[in-house]
Amino acid sequence: MPLVTPAVLSDYVGQIFAAAGAPPPHAAAVAASLVASNLVGHDSHGVVRVPQYLASIARGETDPAAVPRIARERGVVAVVDAQRGFGQLAARFAIGEAVARARQHGIAAVTIERCSHAGRMGEWVEVAAAAGLIGLAFCNAGRPLGPVAPHGGAGRALGTNPVAAAIPHAGADPIVIDIATSTVAEGKLRIAFNQGQPVPPGLILDAAGHPSTDPGDFYRGGVLLPMAGHKGYALALLVELLGGVLAETPGEVIPGGNGMLFIVLDPAAFRDPVAYAADVAAFCARVVAVPPAPGFAEVVLPGEPERRTRHERERGGIPLDDTTWHLITDSGVAYRIAAPTEVA
């Protein structure tokens, strides 16, 4: 299993995207975003996506040179048109718009339409938290027909539809919540499939509607299940209607792309910001002070495991399974980009 340094991996992936038609700043930004997902341990949203993005470009679904723009706006609301470009560029632009409007008005809501895959939602809500604001994201992940079955069903109907939030935490890193409403993100099945590993029971059904632990059964027409049964199904439907129906342009859905809704709140518009920050810190301190249950060493806040993984991988390199690495290097060969020889 290769270990690749973040800088080397970002540069290599950026070169591939540039060779595929992306302006160098676009290519570098998307590569950095993918590698950032690997750094925090979310390999499902990392460089494993490189072949997917290149295939979308080759089919003419994604325009690697497109620049996002505001299509419509009204006060605290804006609609961003990604113009079929990279989702990471559109998400960065949209959350920036939401932050600016929330600073002025106390609240903002921004949707994104005509958008390719935008990566890890946690990355974008963290932008709001870095500005001292609360960021919420609802993402329709799986268009035009998602891979997740409704509760009680055995056919595809919903996306993996993540919900994300980031809340500033005075004197500490923000609290970051980023969860798929399915039992697992589709990209995690892809990682397991590439590694030739089974997945735990209860995640997927095969094409005949039978439970399976073989991730290949999912890619042969099976389905993902919603997390927590009917509760995950209800959340997935909510995200579908907010990040999908509300954000989509009929007839302009990009296969494998995302529809998104960002909501940003300024705590200072609701109460004294210093007192609010103190209350957040005090509440979180009480939570992590709870004695750990058997089998656990400690209680941690959401986002802390990712930060620890990032520190480890910044020092030791990013591990990539052989299949994923070969798929990426094969893509490099196709665009005449030599694979890096430097590894961690």
DSSP, collapsed to helix, strand or coil, labels residue 231 as helix
Assess whether 145 and 217 both reside in one domain.
no
What residues contact 260, with CB distance under 8 A and at least 6 apart?
91, 94, 111, 112, 115, 118, 121, 137, 138, 139, 140, 243, 247
Assess whether 275 and 159 both reside in one domain.
yes
299 occurs within a structural domain: no
Assess whether 54 and 2 both reside in one domain.
yes
What residues contact 96, with CB distance under 8 A and at least 6 apart?
127
Assess whether 109 and 158 both reside in one domain.
yes
295 occurs within a structural domain: no
pLDDT at 344: 59
pLDDT at 248: 78
Rounded to the nearest integer, the mean pLDDT of the chain is: 95
298 occurs within a structural domain: no
More confident residue, 186 or 313: 313
pLDDT at 187: 84
Structure confidence by residue, pLDDT tens digits, 200-248: 999 999 999 999 999 999 999 999 999 999 999 999 999 999 999 999 7
Assess whether 108 and 207 both reside in one domain.
no
In DSSP terms, which residues pair with 276 in a beta bridge? none
Percentage of residues in the chain having pLDDT higher than 90: 90
What residues contact 231, with CB distance under 8 A and at least 6 apart?
none
**What is the C-alpha to C-alpha distance for residues 252 and 24, in angstroms, rounded to an integer?**
26
Structure tokens at 280: 């957040």
pLDDT at 343: 65
- Among 207, 225, 243, the domain boundary falls at 225
pLDDT at 145: 81
187 occurs within a structural domain: no
What's the whole-model pTM score? 0.94
* pLDDT of residue 342 exceeding 70: no
**What is the C-alpha to C-alpha distance for residues 50 and 119, in angstroms, rounded to an integer?**
11
Structure confidence by residue, pLDDT tens digits, 27-81: 999 999 999 999 999 999 999 999 999 999 999 999 999 999 999 999 999 999 9
30 occurs within a structural domain: yes
User: How many domains in the chain?
Assistant: 3
What mean pLDDT comes out for the span 153-164?
95
Domain that holds residue 318: 1-65+310-344
What mean pLDDT comes out for the span 176-185?
95
Please provide the DSSP assignment of 157-205 as one string: -B----EEEEEEETTEEEEEEEE-SBSS-HHHHHHHHHHT----TTSEE
25 occurs within a structural domain: yes
Strand order in the sheet with 204-205: 211-212, 204-205, 223-224
Assess whether 219 and 234 both reside in one domain.
no
Q: How confident is the model at residue 160 (pLDDT cuts 50, 70, 90)?
A: very high
pLDDT at 142: 76
Assess whether 33 and 127 both reside in one domain.
no
Assess whether 247 and 135 both reside in one domain.
yes
Structure confidence by residue, pLDDT tens digits, 195-210: 899 999 999 999 999 9
Structure confidence by residue, pLDDT tens digits, 69-120: 999 999 999 999 999 999 999 999 999 999 999 999 999 999 999 999 999 9
301 occurs within a structural domain: no
Assess whether 79 and 33 both reside in one domain.
no
**What is the C-alpha to C-alpha distance for residues 287 and 279, in angstroms, rounded to an integer?**
12
What residues contact 302, with CB distance under 8 A and at least 6 apart?
175, 176, 177
Q: How many residues does the chain have?
A: 344
Assess whether 134 and 276 both reside in one domain.
yes
Assess whether 178 and 43 both reside in one domain.
no
297 occurs within a structural domain: no
**What is the C-alpha to C-alpha distance for residues 119 and 232, in angstroms, rounded to an integer?**
21
What mean pLDDT comes out for the span 283-287?
97
Specify the CATH number for the domain of residue 31: 1.10.1530.10
Specify the CATH number for the domain of residue 91: 3.30.1370.60
Q: How confident is the model at residue 158 (pLDDT cuts 50, 70, 90)?
A: very high
Assess whether 257 and 157 both reside in one domain.
yes
